[in-house]
Structure 1
Amino acid sequence: MLFIVVCLFGWATSSPLVKRQVPGSNSLLLVRAREGSALAEPRQDTALPDLPAGEALDLFYRYGFFSLSVRVVPRDDAGKWIVREPTSSIFKADSVRHITQTQTNRFQDQFQIYFCDDLEDLMKHYFHDFKADGVEEPFRMYTGSWRTPTTMKYFGLSESVIKSDVGYVLVKLVKPRLTMKVEGRLQLEDEAAIAMNKIRVGDRDSVQDFVQNHGSHYIRSISVGDAVYQVLAMDRPAYLRAKNDVLVNKRVTNFDTIYEEYLAPWIVKENGAVLSASGDKTVANFLENRAVKRTGFNQYPSLFEVRAQPGLLDELEFLTEDTTAVIGLDFRSLGSLLPTIEQQDYFKEIVNTELALWQANI
């Protein structure tokens, strides 16, 4: 995975980017932000939304269509729902401990900037913080059903660009509100426990019966907040030059130079719309009209304007105070609760094989 992180402030000072290794990434570049200021404390007045952490579901039921039932992209439908995927409570209440980690409910100090070789890579990086046991490419759970019009809508791009030989740069600014996760020695309710006790190694039907009636996974953790993002499309030669200079060879480490030479609106092939994951209409209108780079003769949508004009970020903080989207999700296999390693391995073998088939055919 290749990406850089750029701080929101210090544009005018041309602060150098500082290299830092991060597990799971080839390179990550940072520039210090908010010099001398303390990190914001977690908000204590944040209302806790109703989140289905610890509940079970069958991943096969809506594989490829989870963006319809989990608010991860800017949908048109009104309402405050966050997750409307059918789930069930299959654990005994006294065996589950819900841990709520309240965060600042403020935008992070850094942009996440991902260099994406193609459309599939773009989807993968957008869903970077979404995981599921046994699913090699979790992004397909959400995007498998997307066709060109859907992709255009959620990435703010034109059809001609999506069908062209281009590279993409995903610019993302995340606002974490809270994470809820489950811990404890989980024990199934009686009905589910009886069904799990019937699972036998070599008996495929016993696994399939359990999954169909009680689920394949449970939600181990869920993170909510909001995120604003923009996709830039670049002609293949320009994209490769930028990626090699910034990430591979690290020839350029100053963000002002990176912006002016590679990412400026008048350089890239297309500047996608600036969007918010929550899809809030007020926020969308603000981004459309205010997150704009204006020159003498043209204007371009640009998320980087919140860095160039810090006052925009203050307004955006206010507008997104109560907007909500899912920004991270982790599904854990129910097979991990089986009493023996052999049973656990067999359960995962059956489920993972089925998931691979769904992934290949979606």
Structure 2
Amino acid sequence: MSPSPSGRLGLFWLLALALLAVVGSRESQLRIGKAINIFLRYGYLGISMRVIPMNDNVESERWIFKEPTKNIYRNLSGLAESHEDTTPGIFHGDFHMEFCDNRRQLFQAYFRDFTVERMDKPWEAFTGGWFPDTAAKKLGINTSFIQGDYSYVLVRVVRFRETGKLNADIPIEQQLEPEVRARMEQLKIGNLTSAVGFIESVGTHYVSSYTTGNSLFQVFVYSRKNFKMIKERIRSKGLNALSKLDLYNYFAPWFAEHLGQIRSASANATVERWARRKLQYEYYVVKYVTLLKLHGNSTLLRSLDTLLGNDAILQLDLKSLNVVFREHPEKESWFHEVLDNNMKLWELNMPQNHASR
């Protein structure tokens, strides 16, 4: 591509600002087959998707997805399926922990279930703009523990509510929306302006699958030595083979360097207050709050089940809009070149990718 990287990046910033001005006039829903433009918030997708605590004021309006979206195909509902897990008395979710050698792995672990096609590191679409203090607040830990020679264990309890996905590939004969077809036909090979015009009016990706619900999570910070010890012990014997005493010792203030706050993915204050009250553990004179108290406790899990609503996105799979160009392979190749180049540019320009920061 002949245009300079800085020129392309500046052009996309202008487009992003223009699109943000008209967000209110466009539909915004998390639905299968809907197209979005990831360049609107690349590196900051968490601003408009409720995936991690926002740390801002409590809002009167509850939302989980604010990105402007657009239908690309007509009558796509026959290819999509969705279901809700609402059976009373059953906790529809899981309890898991992930071992992270450093903060990059911690970010990756939190966004493991988020994929963006043609991105090698999809978590950076959400965390690319995180400075250390921002990351620490979102993850519920002190800023001093997001930098330095630390390792982490991410413990999370997830409650699934609604799942949607495409149950088959989109047929090549599926009818495009008229505006999308017109934009596809206007795209000219080698013409950057026409490719940008397509992205501006249609998008870059479409929603292939999603899961909504909510979760509680807690980050435990360790020295390298203690992290290696707990990692090897749990991986060799398995979590269920450890006694409750072992678990409480490994995840206690005297073994971990720091115990993060228990946070809700949606920043639900009611759920977080419940956690601080119900998940308190006392060992002699030491009191602390730990998510490990939920492990194997069906009574507490059932109680939590009634509190965790459908307030956050837990999984999201975005596919490239190459599907629109399947009958025009040369246009498809040009669209991908523009898409790939600009994703790499934004990735390189995110603050956390600068060694000095």
TM-score normalised by structure 1 residue count? 0.78
**Any idea what the Cα deviations from partners look like across 1:94-141, whole Å, max 9, x if unmatched?**
676331132357545642110011111101110111011111111111
**Any idea what the Cα deviations from partners look like across 1:231-280, whole Å, max 9, x if unmatched?**
10001121123334444xx2676232862563344311111111111221
2:163 is aligned with what amino acid?
Answer: T
Q: Distance in 1 between matches of 2:93 and 2:175?
A: 40
Q: Distance in 2 between matches of 1:316 and 1:251?
A: 28
Q: Distance in 2 between matches of 1:94 and 1:179?
A: 17
Of 301, 312, 321 in structure 1, the residue corresponding to residue 300 of structure 2 is 312
The CA deviation at 1:308 is 6.0
1:268 is aligned with what amino acid?
Answer: A
Q: Summarize the Cα distance change of 1:196–1:124 in structure 2 as closer, same or farther, 3 Å threshold.
A: same
**Any idea what the Cα deviations from partners look like across 1:307-338, whole Å, max 9, x if unmatched?**
26443222211222x34210011111112221
Partner of 1:217: 205
Matched, 1:158 2:142: yes
Of 82, 85, 89 in structure 1, the residue corresponding to residue 67 of structure 2 is 85
Partner of 2:53: 74
Aligned-partner SS, 1:125: helix
1:135 is aligned with what amino acid?
Answer: M
Of 114, 117, 120 in structure 2, the residue corresponding to residue 136 of structure 1 is 120
1:188 is aligned with what amino acid?
Answer: L
2:128 is aligned with what amino acid?
Answer: G
The CA deviation at 1:286 is 0.6
Q: Is the 8 A contact 1:272 1:301 kept in 2?
A: no
Q: Summarize the Cα distance change of 1:136–1:96 in structure 2 as closer, same or farther, 3 Å threshold.
A: farther
What CA RMSD, in Å, does the superposition of the two structures yield over aligned residues? 2.4
Q: Distance in 2 between matches of 1:342 and 1:246?
A: 51
2:323 is aligned with what amino acid?
Answer: S
Partner of 2:31: 52
Partner of 1:357: 345
The CA deviation at 1:300 is 1.4
Matched, 1:199 2:199: no
1:221 is aligned with what amino acid?
Answer: S
Q: Distance in 2 between matches of 1:94 and 1:295?
A: 56
Q: Is the 8 A contact 2:151 2:227 kept in 1?
A: yes
Q: Is the 8 A contact 2:210 2:316 kept in 1?
A: yes
| Larger CA deviation: 73-82 vs 287-296 | 73-82
Q: Distance in 2 between matches of 1:356 and 1:317?
A: 40
**Any idea what the Cα deviations from partners look like across 1:32-60, whole Å, max 9, x if unmatched?**
xxxxxxxxxxxxxxxxxx63332212111
Structure 2 segments unaligned to the other structure (5+ residues): 1-28, 351-357
Partner of 2:313: 326
Aligned-partner SS, 1:207: helix
Matched, 1:293 2:281: yes
| Larger CA deviation: 168-177 vs 146-155 | 146-155
Residue correspondences, number:
311
Q: Summarize the Cα distance change of 1:251–1:224 in structure 2 as closer, same or farther, 3 Å threshold.
A: closer
Q: Distance in 2 between matches of 1:334 and 1:98?
A: 17
Q: Summarize the Cα distance change of 1:152–1:202 in structure 2 as closer, same or farther, 3 Å threshold.
A: same
Runs of 4+ in structure 1 deviating by more than 4 angstroms, as ranges, are: none
Structure 1 segments unaligned to the other structure (5+ residues): 1-49
The CA deviation at 1:198 is 2.9
**Bigger helix share:** 2
TM-score normalised by structure 2 residue count? 0.79
1:168 is aligned with what amino acid?
Answer: Y
Aligned-partner SS, 1:93: coil
- What is the 5 A alignment of 1:167-316? 167-182=151-166, 184-185=170-171, 186-247=174-235, 250=236, 254-256=241-243, 259=247, 262-307=250-295, 309-316=297-304
Aligned-partner SS, 1:287: helix
Q: Summarize the Cα distance change of 1:96–1:137 in structure 2 as closer, same or farther, 3 Å threshold.
A: farther
Partner of 2:103: 119
Partner of 1:65: 44
Aligned-partner SS, 2:336: helix
1:284 is aligned with what amino acid?
Answer: E
